[in-house]
Structure 1
């Protein structure tokens, strides 16, 4: 029989691997399997926190994590406490901004909001600024359980204002589960640099950053679409067996008359 620690580890693994939009379903299934609410309450909080911050749930990310269970909403300059079990925010408090970078952060935030509204129908974002770094976190969820699929796009971009270096992490996760269970999880890292010009105003820096992000995300999304096409046209076809083990083609109109076991034995 599994020990307490083993049960927590297994349950945490299931939760952290939950597909987009299905964390509550996975939690309920894990709860039924474990059969011990006290064990779950005391052991999986860390897994839920990791899931929320990595999946950018309601733009709760490690980039805005202030201390423990408190997170920053950079648009309102307030921190809040998050209940990771119920995903409920509470106890708002004012937050002191980094004045040296706040003006640039606001300009980038405005341009990033326009970018997301133009390209992601249901996308949301947060723009953080601290210690010389501007970080943009974008997430777009698309849930269609009636059609047996859910998906999530995430991208995090960080600009070092001192060096003009830009780093991006793009991630896509899709779950399709009609008459089966197929998951896609893919990622790409990007490193680039804005044209260095210390006299550039904030608007020029922001525009250059948005242009870089738009080009990189379009390139990655195009590559994904091409990969899907290749899978359908070549890879999956290659997996199909040209003939069954009997080495003869099946007449599907007579399928009920075949005695597969006897045919195999004869071979």
Structure 2
């Protein structure tokens, strides 16, 4: 029989692998498996914290308009996160994903003007490409980090999906590194998950009299080009999988070209032959 520590470890792995929009369902399931709420609450907090920060969970924050992103790039403490647009820090209950205790935060004045410029251009980009998405632009220690997340949940149609991308600009070298991730769960009469990612490493080419404007426009142009290229490649892959890969994996229909109804097996010739034997 598994020890308590082993059960907690297994439950944590389930939580960290939870599909988009289904963390509460997975949590309730593993709560039943472990069976001890006190041990469960004490043992999986780290897993929930990792899930929220890696998946860029979005939460409502008192006094702040719109959603805020929970990201390790804005993590002040294990349960406190920065909302860079308002320079506020909020406390997060990782279990319930509820924000509270909003406080002021001191910003890095050295790159704050550049951060604000990039933030405005990022918001315009989001409005054009991700109407229901959420973004956050962080700035510290000479580095600008853009976090983008777009969730699309359709449980009535048995699918949920999440797009995430993280872009980091080293302001001293103009080097940009990006990580693009897409996760989709489809579970009608089955359980299919797709998780894919791509890394980007490029250098900005700036052309403008205003340095901040030049950097921001070059950065958002790079992001737009890279994300469109990746999304186009994903669409082509989906088409290929639907037309060829999944067809190759799917069990072929019988020669009658219709599914076998096992409740009516005796009406088929094979049923008569089996009954005769």
TM-score by length of 1: 0.91
Distance 1:261 1:49, change over 3 A: farther
Taking the aligned partners of 1:181 and 1:238, their CA distance within structure 2 comes to 18
- SS of 2:20 mapped into structure 1: coil
- 1:176-215 equivalences under 5 Å are 176-195=186-205, 200-215=210-225
Matched residue, 2:136: 126
Distance 1:123 1:261, change over 3 A: farther
Deviations 1:211-240 (A, max 9, x none): 000000000000000001111111122234
- 1:77-88 equivalences under 5 Å are 77-88=87-98
- 1:206-225 equivalences under 5 Å are 206-225=216-235
Matched residue, 1:36: 36
Tell which deviates more after alignment, 199-208 or 183-192.
199-208
Distance 1:260 1:162, change over 3 A: farther
| 1:64 maps onto 2:63 in alignment | no
Taking the aligned partners of 1:253 and 1:55, their CA distance within structure 2 comes to 40
Distance 1:212 1:66, change over 3 A: same
Count matched residues: 260
Q: Give the drift of 1:81.
A: 1.2
Q: Give the drift of 1:259.
A: 2.5
Q: Give the drift of 1:161.
A: 0.2
Q: Give the drift of 1:252.
A: 4.2
Taking the aligned partners of 2:257 and 2:19, their CA distance within structure 1 comes to 40
Distance 1:78 1:252, change over 3 A: closer
Q: Is residue 49–residue 78 contact of structure 2 (8 Å, CA) maintained in 1?
A: no
| 1:259 maps onto 2:270 in alignment | yes
TM-score by length of 2: 0.88
Taking the aligned partners of 1:196 and 1:111, their CA distance within structure 2 comes to 15
Q: Give the drift of 1:105.
A: 0.1
Q: Give the drift of 1:64.
A: 0.3
Q: Which runs of 5+ in 1 are unaligned?
A: none
Q: Which runs of 5+ in 2 are unaligned?
A: 59-68
Deviations 1:103-148 (A, max 9, x none): 0000000000010111112100100000000000000000011111
Q: Give the drift of 1:261.
A: 11
Distance 1:216 1:250, change over 3 A: same
Q: Give the drift of 1:57.
A: 0.3
Taking the aligned partners of 1:195 and 1:252, their CA distance within structure 2 comes to 59
CA RMSD, Structure 1 to Structure 2 (Å): 2.2
